[in-house]
Structure 1
Amino acid sequence: MKRQSQAEIVKQLSNKELLLNVYASQLLFVLLAFGLAWLWFDDFNHLFGLFKLNWNELLLLGLIPGVTVVMIDLIFIKWIPEKYYDDGGINNRIFTSLSIPQIFLIALVVSFSEELLFRGVIQTSFGYVIASVLFALVHFRYLNKIVLLVSVLILSFLLGYIYEITNNLLVPIVAHFIIDFLLGIYYRLFRGDNHERKLSQTLSK
């Protein structure tokens, strides 16, 4: 029996099922973060103390780097063939089926849960390199896509470095949120119809 490609598997899922899978994975990250924090930290105050409301850091090291990453990403998307940025259709399916407020919510959930686990707990406990590599490996659907893999590795080390120099978990959360939210809007407004047409043509061959 021929093994199904990721694009074919994604195609069989409804938009609701795909979105529920995303939220379930993020809930798992949050539960894992609190479980590991309970094991590795003296108390939860240590974890909560990583959140600091510093507006200068949030602007200079959160918002500005986030917008810069998106601008660079959009340049690459424009000039690099689409197949190198294809993650199996997941981003297109998720973001093109959501309203902008829904994109805001999912970007907020993803940025909080992933940064809480990988930067707040793992990087705090085991260091910058281990957390950054693990973050990239969790995005396993990128492993056979060299452009996406390099992109997520660079992003992971950037977010890790931001946390390393600020010791403020809110800053990489803001940067991560800005990236996901703006790219989500881009997919919603500019990529959906074109991608779905090409995907249908590919699967019908």
Structure 2
Amino acid sequence: MTEKKRSRHFTAKELRLNLYITQLLVLLISIILAWLLFDSPQDVLTLFVWDPIRILLIGGGAAICIVMLDYVAMKLFPESWFDDGGINERVFHGIGIIHLACVTLLIGFAEEFLFRGIVQTQFGFWVASLTFAVLHVRYIRKPFLFTFVLVISMFLGCLFELTGNLFITIFAHFLTDFMMGLHLREGVDNKGDEY
């Protein structure tokens, strides 16, 4: 059974629930690993530097670069290379903007805390980048999507290495997902929620 056929067995609400559960598990794993791997809570907190101007400029600029790269790639390469089985479209189709912002903020925070804040600081850039890409398991059999996720992970990893600030990568990840989610919430016809 193909991924597209398997995903149609779930409603959009069930797919969103799965997303929430997965992200909450990522957050819980992050907290447990932070407790085990860092000497103190203060060491974890030093990863978060509240510098609104840099967060907006660097994180926002990074997100715009990622979205532009995606846009250019979609113009250059066949549409079939971007086929994720329609899952992203079904998750984001028709979702309210506030709901979209909350979901993408949860994703950005949970994934950046785990991959950049915990894995990258404790095990290194390459382990974090590869783990991030591999854990997007539905892309493993899609060479272009897997490579694209790996490149984004490496970009975010470099951003964290250069700034040392998780808020910057969290904002970049959030804004990227939010902008792409805005596109997807409008870009799918109504049959996306029928399954």
Task: Tell me the TM-score normalized by structure 1.
Answer: 0.89
The structural deviation recorded for 1:101 is: 1.6
Q: Is the 8 A contact 1:70 1:183 kept in 2?
A: yes
- AA matched with 2:84: D
Query: Deviation at 1:24?
Result: 0.4
> Over aligned residues, Cα RMSD in angstroms?
1.6
Paired position in structure 2 for 1:103: 100
Contact residue 51 and residue 170 of structure 1 kept, 8 A? yes
Deviation string 1:169-192 (CA, Å, 9 cap, x unpaired) is 0010011011100000011122x1
3-state SS of paired residue (1:156)? helix
Residue 157 in structure 1 maps to residue 154 in structure 2: yes
Query: Counterpart amino acid of 2:13?
Result: K
Deviation at residue 69 of structure 1 after TM alignment: 1.1
Moved more, 68-77 or 121-130: 68-77
* 1:194 CA drift (Å): 8.8
Deviation at 1:195, TM superposition (A): 8.5
Please state how far the C-alpha of 1:19 moved relative to its aligned partner.
0.4
- Cα deviation for residue 80 of structure 1 reads 2.3
Specify the structure having the higher radius of gyration (Cα). Answer: 1
Look up the match of 1:193: 189
- For the Cα contact (< 8 Å) 1:96–1:187, is it kept in 2? yes
**Aligned match for 2:79, one of 79, 82, 88:** 82
Aligned-partner residue type, residue 189 of structure 2:
D
By relative contact order (CA 8 Å, sep 6+), the higher-ranking structure is 2
1:112-151 counterparts in 2 under 5 A?
A: 112-151=109-148
Match of 2:189, SS state, is helix
Aligned-residue offset at 1:93: 0.5
In structure 1, what is the Cα distance between the partners aligned to 2:64 and 2:171? 11
CA displacement, residues 153-205 of structure 1 (integer Å, 9 cap, x when unaligned)? 11000000111111110010011011100000011122x12995xxx9xxxxx
Deviation at 1:75, TM superposition (A): 2.2
Q: Distance in 2 between matches of 1:120 and 1:139?
A: 18
| Mapped pair 1:22 → 2:15 | no
Give the aligned partner of residue 36 of structure 1: 33
Q: Give CA deviations for 1:35-90 in whole Å, capped at 9, x if unaligned.
A: 11111111222112211112342133210110121022122223422211011211
Q: Is the 8 A contact 2:115 2:128 kept in 1?
A: yes
> What residue number does 1:54 align with?
51
Kept after mapping to 2: 8 A contact 1:57/1:166: no
Counterpart CA distance in 1 for 2:83 and 2:190 is 13
Mapped partners of 1:182, 1:167: distance in 2? 24
Matched letter for residue 160 of structure 2: Y
